[in-house]
Chains A and B, each alone.
Chain A
Amino acid sequence: MIEGVEQTKLDMMGGGPLKVGPEPLRSSKFNYHHRFITDHLVSGLAILSTILVIAPLVAILVYLIFKGASSLNLAFFTKIPAPVGEEGGGMANSIVGSGIILMLASAMGVPVGIAAGVYLAEYGRGRMLGNLVRFTADVLNGVPSIVMGIAIYSLIVVRQGHFSAFAGGVALAIMMIPTVTRTTEEMLMTVPHAVREAAFALGVPKWRTVMSVSLRTASPGIITGCMLAFARVAGETAPLLFTAFGNQFWSSDLNQPIGALPLQIFVYAISPYDEWHRLAWAGALVLIVLIMVSVTLVRVVASRGILKGNQ
């Protein structure tokens, strides 16, 4: 009886299987071709878009290597910029300046970022405050770097009365914090809870568990995250425009304007002199190589670390 009811229901819904005649079959054949062609078309489009995306990357890298390598020489690494109209000169002071600013930024940004990440993963899980911090970090991550530049300008440069390497370092440190925080948190989340419980069961206090168990287990990932943050700020120009300001001469004083590689590239790129364009290309190549080398180096070291941990 129940079966009968079901059948009537089906009939009422017009879904009887018997109604499928020869006509839909033919159309399904057409349909099949149509679907087949669409499928291939879309595959082709996906491949095409991948090629279109890779193309500019290859173009940029090839251009950079071609143009940059031909203008690199020893003077580039040892001399300070030459005055307008003179041949030669280099970016030695900018390279050193970038190094100083980045070290300052890492020294300030990385510890705070990791600590905030530890709070999110170990203390703030599922808490309102934790979610709020996480959200703020994500939002801070999206704040345009130029805005960071003017904020630090008003906060530090105006109060100090002059541009300084320190201000540049603070601006970059603030840009590093959200990235480091979020990667640290994500990496700590991947540490199995059982490992922590094991440490607690041995009577290890919480701070010690965090330091020697959680952070240690997650360290390769955290190092990679810090490196990515480093690479991101290493090429930043906008926040340095009104903080570090740039300098044509040697300076390692944290209270003075200091040269930075991206700033120098920017100044040279928009200048009207061929000689400076040449140097801009060389600078860009050096910048990219420095970023890539540091990132890959740390990645390799970190992945070795993971392998060791497993064995």
Chain B
Amino acid sequence: MTTSPHMTDPSRIQVPQIVVSEPLPPATPLLEPEGEGSIVRKYLQKRSSGRLIDGAFGVTMLLAALSIFCIVALIVYTLTSGSKMSIHEFGWKFFVQSDWDPVDGSFGALPFIFGTVVSSLLALCMAVPLAIGVAIFITEMCPGPLRAPISFLTELLAAIPSVVYGLWAVFVLVPLMRDHLGPGLYKLFSWTGFFEGDNFGIGMLTASIILAIMILPVISSITRDVMRAVPINQREGMLALGATRWEMIRIGVLRNARIGIVGAVILGLGRALGETMAVTMVIGNRPVIAKSLFAPGYTLASVIANEFSEATDDMYLSALVEIGLALFLVTIVVNGIARLLVWAVTRGTPARSA
């Protein structure tokens, strides 16, 4: 406290800063007798208004966080109020009726549900083994220098916009399916009955393939994270017991990570259910339920994309909004389950012994 020349420059005082919000700072009474010390007092008093700003800041952050609730609530509110008419008119029958005739005024969502479910499940069947393969390759066997570029490339798949996938599918995948893949599949598997009828290239199968390509990065990157969360001594233990690399992966890693992988798959399913543009461009957009995978279909998302802006009559609009509501609720449930599963694994729960 012998530094009275420095007192005139508040920025050089370091001791009082320790005690801003404390009611009884020990340093202040010591300084007070020194006449000029009142500067410190003033300085501290000026600073102590931080309490107000602190409160305001905290409340602002809280409001921002609460706005997320508001958004979800608003979405639910607008969708339910928009579809009230259709819910009133059709009730649960809406989801089991297969007529979709806007001119006639009969609306049933079954063809769209069928299209969405079939295309998503087919896409999952194609994407899941590949995604897990990629995740295994990247986490367990990839040579060091290759790891970063390959994970970058798979992440890049996620950065490509849906409409570009659609564009590529329309001009590359559709001709490929029409001229090469389709006839080949027909020759091999026509006895199953899944590859009957005319093959124009657009249809359920093409949509599923493009969907599979789109959900691959989602599944593989989360699977990778989950597999990385498995402790390294699980692997070392397996190898020390004489396991081959595959046995180590299967018993030591995959078994521990299985819940998270299921979560990743469900998350991919959620993405596939709601995917709009690319599917709309190649699925053929006809509300039919056909056994053949070459046949055109329609999904919940693509019917909204295609018909929402031309829906003039109120009931038509209301039916489309109800489809949107159904899609919203289904994806929320699917994503909720998936998140809980992924959290259960990656949130530092100790890995079970195999």
Taking Cβ atoms with an 8 Å cutoff, the residues of A that contact B are: 35-36, 38-39, 42-43, 45-50, 52-54, 56-57, 59-60, 63-64, 67, 111-113, 115-116, 118-120, 122-124, 129-130, 132-133, 135-151, 153-155, 174, 177-178, 181, 201-208, 210, 231-232, 234-238, 241-242, 245, 262, 265-266, 269-270, 277, 280-281, 284, 287-288, 291-292, 295
Contact = CB atoms under 8 A, between A and B. Distances in A.
B245 A39 contact: yes
A284 B162 CA distance: 11
Contact of B216 (A53, A150, A202): A53
Contacts of B339: 135, 138-139
A236 B267 CA distance: 19
Interface of B is mostly: helix
B90 interface: no
Most B C-beta atoms less than 10 A away, residue of A49, A113, A234: A49
Contacts of B199: none
Contacts of B273: 144
Nearest to B170: A269
A207 B161 contact: no
B181 interface: no
A15 to B, nearest CB: 17
Contacts of A39: 244-247
Given A60-B160, A237-B162, A287-B161, A150 B245 contact: no
B96 interface: no
Interface in B94-123: none
Contact of B305 (A38, A52, A146, A178): A146
A284 to B, nearest CB: 5
B309 A242 contact: yes
A207 B57 contact: yes
A199 to B, nearest CB: 11
Contacts of A67: 171
B336 to A, nearest CB: 6
Given A53-B130, A115-B61, A202 B336 contact: no
A146 B304 contact: yes
Contact of A147 (B51, B171, B220, B324): B324
Contact of A49 (B79, B82, B134, B304): B134
Contacts of B320: 150
B137 A38 contact: no
B50 A235 contact: no
Interface residues of B, number: 95
Interface string B1-25: 0000000000000001111110000
A139 B336 contact: yes
Contacts of A201: 18
Nearest to B63: A115
B129 interface: yes
18 contacts: A38-B246, A39-B246, A42-B136, A43-B246, A46-B141, A49-B129, A115-B60, A116-B65, A140-B71, A142-B335, A144-B331, A146-B324, A147-B331, A151-B74, A154-B82, A203-B16, A235-B159, A238-B305
Given A145-B276, A235-B161, A269-B166, A206 B54 contact: yes
A231 B160 CA distance: 9
Interface of B: 16-21, 47, 50-51, 53-54, 56-58, 60-69, 71-72, 74-75, 78-79, 81-82, 129-134, 136-138, 140-141, 150, 153-154, 156-157, 159-168, 170-172, 213, 216, 220, 244-247, 249, 267, 270-271, 273-277, 281, 301, 304-305, 308-309, 320-321, 324, 327-328, 331-332, 334-336, 338-339
A235 B249 CA distance: 37
Q: Tell which of B136, B154, B273, B277 has the most Cβ of chain A within 10 Å.
A: B277
A73 B66 CA distance: 47
B301 A202 contact: no
Contacts of A112: 64, 67
B160 A205 contact: no
B116 to A, nearest CB: 10
A263 B144 CA distance: 41
A233 to B, nearest CB: 10
A132 B286 CA distance: 40
A205 B332 contact: no
B160 A235 contact: yes
A292 B161 CA distance: 11
Given A54-B150, A205-B53, A235-B164, A115 B133 contact: no
